[in-house]
């Protein structure tokens, strides 16, 4: 008898096949500092994902608001950056911590935000470059809850976070586009168009933005129109769809004849 999980994945693949539009996944980072901007971000139309900072004033309130509005919540896990900004993040994981300290801090930070389905890195352009830091971090996330996923924000092109998450047995995925590294409207609109282009070319694309007024303005202007030609999926759904597609493809591959036959 075919295992239930394979049947479920096949059903998901069939459902996805019924809608061939490319997928846009939007993640809004840095929620927790501003209640007004955080609420505005959560109220954007679409099935989006919200990365909430531990320790910020409005973090738990915004996590509950997102959950109550059927939006996906993830932990925005602070990690040491190569820039001086790290000095303003006292709870950031850093290179001075040993494995026990990393594990203890990861578990503590995970417990701060309710309703989380996954984790992505806040900053981390330094720490994510080293497998000997990322390995205990990913092992700690899996030890806390093996059903959590990891989204590599790729704040460094040399990040090993995605690979280490997979090695730890977590579901993992990587960011494609940053919408607002530059906060002016022209740049955000350009990055938005790049996001759509990548989704058309690859079938799906993940963009990360922030609850900046200009970013929210561009998204409000454009998300409704994009809904005609694209599907919006939260990160967990995109991961599930990619897995179901891979399983479906592997099941249809022709069997290779054994050597000598």
Q: Are 10 and 252 contacting, i.e. CB atoms less than 8 angstroms apart?
A: no
pLDDT at 19: 87
Parse the chain into domains and list their residue ranges.
21-241
Q: Are 109 and 64 contacting, i.e. CB atoms less than 8 angstroms apart?
A: no
Question: Domain 21-241 belongs to what architecture?
Answer: Alpha-Beta Barrel (3.20)
If we measure between CA atoms, which residue out of 83, 81, 78, 49 comes closest to residue 66?
Answer: 49
CA 215 – CA 231 distance, rounded (Å): 20
pLDDT at 145: 98
pLDDT at 82: 93
DSSP letter assigned to residue 211: -
Burial class, 150, CB count within 10 angstroms (exposed 0-12 / middle 13-18 / buried 19+): buried
Which residues, 6 or more positions from 66, have their beta carbon under 8 angstroms from its beta carbon? 31, 42, 50, 52, 72, 73, 115
CA 21 – CA 39 distance, rounded (Å): 29
pLDDT at 101: 97
- Rounded to two decimals, the pTM is 0.88
If we measure between CA atoms, which residue out of 156, 239, 254, 178 comes closest to residue 204?
Answer: 239
What is the mean pLDDT for each group of 10 consecutive residues in the chain (261 residues)?
52 60 98 98 97 97 98 98 70 96 98 98 97 98 98 98 98 98 98 98 98 98 95 98 77 43 23
pLDDT at 84: 58
pLDDT at 261: 23
If we measure between CA atoms, which residue out of 241, 190, 181 comes closest to residue 24?
Answer: 241
Q: What is the pLDDT of residues 168-207, one digit of tens each?
A: 999 999 999 999 999 999 999 999 999 999 999 999 999 9
pLDDT at 245: 78
The radius of gyration computed from the CA coordinates of the chain, to the nearest angstrom, equals 19
pLDDT at 259: 31
In the numeric block, the tokens 């701060």 are attached to 112
DSSP per-residue string spanning 150-184: EEE--SSTT--HHHHHHHTT-EEEE--EES-SS-S
Tokens describing residue 201: 């070319």
């Amino acid at each position: 008898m075919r295992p239930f999980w394979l049947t479920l994945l096949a059903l998901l693949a069939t459902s996805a096949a019924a809608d061939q539009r490319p997928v846009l996944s939007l993640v809004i980072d840095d929620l927790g500092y501003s209640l007004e901007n955080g609420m505005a971000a959560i109220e954007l139309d679409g099935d989006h994902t919200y990365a909430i900072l531990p320790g910020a004033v409005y973090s738990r309130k915004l996590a509950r608001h997102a959950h109550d509005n059927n939006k996906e919540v993830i932990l925005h896990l602070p990690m040491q950056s190569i820039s001086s900004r790290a000095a303003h993040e006292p709870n950031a994981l850093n290179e001075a911590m040993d494995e026990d300290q990393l594990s203890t801090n990861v578990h503590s930070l995970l417990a701060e935000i309710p309703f989380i389905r996954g984790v992505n890195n806040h900053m981390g352009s330094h720490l994510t470059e080293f497998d000997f830091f990322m390995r205990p971090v990913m092992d700690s996330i899996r030890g806390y809850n093996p059903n959590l996923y990891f989204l590599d924000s790729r704040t460094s092109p040399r990040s090993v976070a995605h690979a280490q998450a997979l090695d730890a047995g977590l579901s993992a995925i990587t960011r494609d586009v940053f919408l607002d590294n530059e906060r002016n409207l022209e740049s955000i609109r350009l990055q938005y168009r790049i996001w759509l282009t990548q989704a058309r070319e690859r079938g799906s694309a993940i963009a990360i933005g922030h609850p900046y007024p200009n970013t929210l303005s561009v998204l409000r202007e454009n998300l409704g129109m994009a809904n005609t030609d694209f599907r919006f999926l939260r990160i967990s759904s995109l991961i599930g769809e990619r897995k179901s597609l891979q399983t479906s493809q592997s099941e249809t591959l022709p069997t290779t004849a054994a050597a000598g036959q």
